[in-house]
Structure formats: C-alpha cells, structure tokens
Amino acid sequence: MPELADRLRRLPPYLFAEIDRKKREVRARGVDVIDLGIGDPDLPTPPHIIQALQKAAEDPENHRYPSYEGMLAYRQAVADWYAKRFNVRLDPEQEVLTLIGSKEGTAHMPLAFVNPGDVVLIPDPGYPVYAAGAWFAGGEAHRMPLRRENGFLPDLGAVPADVARRAKLMYLNYPNNPTAAVATRQFFGEVMAFAQRHGILVCHDAMYSELKFDGYEPPSFLEIEGAREVGVEFHSLSKTYSMTGWRLGFCVGNRAAVAGLGSVKTNVDSGVFQAVQYAGIAALTGPQEVCEHYRKTYQDRRDVVVRGLQAIGWEVDIPKGTFFVWAPVPGRLDSRSFATRLLEEAGVVVTPGVGFGPSGEGFYRIALTVERARLAEAMERLKGLRL
C-alpha cells in the first residue's frame, strides 16, 4: 500500500472526529447527550419540493447523464431568484453554474486558478474546506484573522504586501460560519477595491444569506458596482430550504471564473441528477412562506440560547444571521477543554472554536439545529456547571 500523498498529510487532524469519539463514549455510559455541534437543519424539506422530485424521478428522460453545467431551466430559476432577491441580473448561460452543493464548488475553485506557490486568502476562523481546497491545488493558505473587536471582518490592510502580490483567490463568508457575523455593503466595497488592486478573485460563500433575523437583510457581494469583474458568489439550497442531503447549489458571477470552475467540473464529475434540479426549480420558484417559517423557528431558538447564556452570566453576542451562536469561552479554559467539560459534565455538545482555525481559540459554537425544548434543557444543564 503506498503512503498517503503529501497534500493529505498537510491537512490538520480532524477535530470533529475526536468530538464524535467522545460523544460515543459518553452515550455508552447512558448519558442523554444534547448535540449542539452539528450544523445540519432538523427541519424537513418542504412537501412541494419533495413532490417535484418524485414526479421528475419517474420520467425516464431524467435517468440519463445530466449536463455538466446544469439544466438551463434550473440556471434560469437561479438567475430569476437573484434578480428578485438582490436585484442582480445574471446571464443564466454564462454566469450561472450548477453545483453538487456549494461545498464542491468552493473546494474546486482553486484547481482552476491556483498554481503551486500561489496564495489563497482564507478567513480564520472559517470553514475548513477553504484551506483544504488551496492545499489540494498546491497553493498556500494565508489566514486572515477575524477578531471580535472588528466585527469578525478581516483587516485587509493587515495582509502583507508580498502575500497580496501572490494571492489569486480570497474566500469570504457572510453571514458567517462559525461566528454568525454579518458584513456591510461598505465592507464589500473595500473588498472589491482590494481585489481590483491585486488581481484577486473573490469567492463569497453566501449560503446563509436567507437565515436572517430582526429585519436584517444580508447583501450580495455582487450588488456592489464592479464586484462582478472580480468575484463570484456561492450559494446552496441546503440551509434555505432544508435540503442538505439533496446536494444542490450554484456558483454565479464573473464569467471567466464560472467557466474555469466549469472546466474543472467537466473532468471530475457528471453533474447533478436532473430530478434534483427540478426539485431545485420548485424550491426557487415556488411558495416561500415555508422559508419564513424556518427563519422564525431559528430566531426563536436563537433567543432561547442567548437568554439562557445571559442568565448563567456567560457573555454572548446576539446573531443577526445563520443558525449558529458564537460566544467567548467563560473562565480560563481553552475551547477544547471547555467543550470536553460540557460534554462530560452536562451531556451537551458544543464545537470548540479552534476547530475552525487558530483565531477561533477562546470561542465556542452552538448550532440551533435541535428543537426548542432541547435547547432550553441544554441551557438548564449548563447552569449547574462550575468552571
């Protein structure tokens, strides 16, 4: 058996595998574990979307290989949704690409534009796939720290000049996982100008744009004048429509970037099952009331957690988006030790912030993907801890 390739050796230890191991140990002792670590919606996919899949799956025309770039009807639905939601006009043929979930697009984009020695700018803390994609393409991942005092926005002025010169891609993600931070149009304007100066492709991961609270409306990066010249936006139907297992998303924006990613896809996959794309059309063009119900459900759960942490005396910011709560670790524990204490002493799983990058140390993440009553019970359990 040959040794693993160097690109795999560069990947850090998978923290979440260790968390899973500890969960199994605690459950084996008979403990009722409340898992607040998984960002996977527990709310069901809306019935009209399921019905669209069922109908399309019965049609033999959909049993053959799909097109690499996705059905034009689906891409048109994406373009129409963007026009209605963000007032951004897209050419469905050249500025929209169908993805097998947004994760595969964010992971593969460096393969289209990054050579060995090139730099990819990634948020820290951030979704681990951003760094992995850079490493798989032979590039270097330069971490941009996200600090609480700066609203968890990267300080573009702190990027060293030599790093900026070698940078080919920049990943951003707002509303943000794991910090739940949000970005302004002003910040996106600064990003656009920075990217223009340095010839960088901006890859904005906007998959949480529809999980928005208290009247906040997350902007699209592509709303900024000139942004389409330097950037693309990734989106997924996973969180908006509770379709994580369906694996359907899209990349939109700069034509050359979309074409480059499309070239990678033609060589590594065979596209999305057309019946799933018909379900996606039903999601994007059908009734949206269920999405509002989902938003209200997550907002109510957010309020349960925020009030619960405040009642304990633990510091917490109130998120305006996503279904995560990101908070400082109380006391003097590091994030791993804190998460271990919560699991072993209270049977509550949270994700240590360091699992998302070095700058996540000192924080932990709670996922609002369990029912309200369980969240309330978790908060009650935490009251009994003495840290």
Task: Enter the tokens of residue 156.
Answer: 């573009």
Chain segment 330-374, per-residue pLDDT in tens: 989 999 999 999 999 999 999 999 999 999 999 999 999 999 999
Chain segment 223-247, per-residue pLDDT in tens: 999 999 999 999 999 999 999 999 9
Say if residue 259's pLDDT is above 90. Answer: yes
Say if residue 287's pLDDT is above 90. Answer: yes
Say if residue 213's pLDDT is above 80. Answer: yes
Say if residue 33's pLDDT is above 90. Answer: yes
Which pLDDT does position 64 carry in this prediction? Answer: 94
Mean pLDDT on 246-264: 98
Q: What is the percentage of the chain residues whose pLDDT exceeds 90?
A: 91
Say if residue 12's pLDDT is above 80. Answer: no
Q: How far apart are the C-alpha atoms of 133 and 154, rounded to whole Å?
A: 20
Q: State the average pLDDT for the chain.
A: 96
CB within 8 Å of 337: residues ≥ 6 apart:
none
Say if residue 8's pLDDT is above 90. Answer: no
Mean pLDDT on 123-129: 96
Q: Answer for the pair 288, 142: CB distance below 8 angstroms, yes or no.
A: no
CB within 8 Å of 183: residues ≥ 6 apart:
153, 172, 174, 176, 218, 219
Which pLDDT does position 387 carry in this prediction? Answer: 76
Which pLDDT does position 19 carry in this prediction? Answer: 81
Chain segment 289-334, per-residue pLDDT in tens: 999 999 999 999 999 999 999 999 999 999 999 999 999 999 899 9
Q: Answer for the pair 269, 315: CB distance below 8 angstroms, yes or no.
A: no
Q: Answer for the pair 112, 263: CB distance below 8 angstroms, yes or no.
A: yes
Which pLDDT does position 139 carry in this prediction? Answer: 96
Mean pLDDT on 30-42: 93
Q: What is the percentage of the chain residues whose pLDDT exceeds 70?
A: 99
Q: How far apart are the C-alpha atoms of 359 and 377, rounded to whole Å?
A: 30
User: CA dihedral defined by 336, 341, 344, 345, rounded to 10 degrees?
Assistant: -160
More confident residue, 5 or 197: 197
Q: Which domains does the chain have, with CATH numbers?
A: 6-44+290-383 (3.90.1150.10), 47-285 (3.40.640.10)
